[in-house]
Amino acid sequence: MDYKTIVITGASSGIGAALARALAAPGRTLTLLGRSAERLGAVAAACRARGAACRIESVDQTDADALSRVLDEIGREAPVDLLIASAGILDGRSADDPVESRMAARRVLETNLLATVDLVHGLLPTMRRNRHGSIVLVASLASLVPLPDAPAYSASKAGLLSYGLALRDAVAADGVRVVVACPGFVATAMAGRHLGPRPGEISAEEAAQRILTGLQRNRAMIGFPLVPFWLSRLSLLVPEKIRRRGLKNTRFHVGE
**Is 3 labeled as catalytic in the residue annotation?**
no
DSSP string, the chain: ----EEEEESTTSHHHHHHHHHH--TT-EEEEEES-HHHHHHHHHHHHHTT-EEEEEE--TT-HHHHHHHHHHHHHH---SEEEE---------TT-SS--HHHHHHHHIIIIIHHHHHHHHHHHHHHHHT-EEEEEE--GGGTS--TT-HHHHHHHHHHHHHHHHHHHHHGGGTEEEEEEEE--EE-TGGGGEES--TT-EEHHHHHHHHHHHHHTT-SEEEESHHHHHHHHHHTTS-HHHHHHHHGGG--EE--
Choosing among 3.30.830.10, 3.40.50.720, 3.40.50.150, 3.40.50.300, the CATH entry for 5-254 is 3.40.50.720
Going residue by residue through the chain (256 aa), what tens digit of pLDDT does each one get? 689 999 999 999 999 999 999 999 999 999 999 989 999 999 999 999 999 999 999 999 899 999 999 999 988 888 999 999 999 988 866 666 778 889 999 999 999 999 999 999 999 999 999 999 999 999 999 999 888 888 999 999 999 999 999 999 999 999 999 999 999 888 876 656 655 666 678 999 999 999 999 999 999 999 998 877 777 777 777 777 766 666 666 654 456 6
Among the listed residues 153, 185, 229, 252, the single catalytic one is 153
How much is the pTM? 0.87
Please state the domain extents for the chain: 5-254
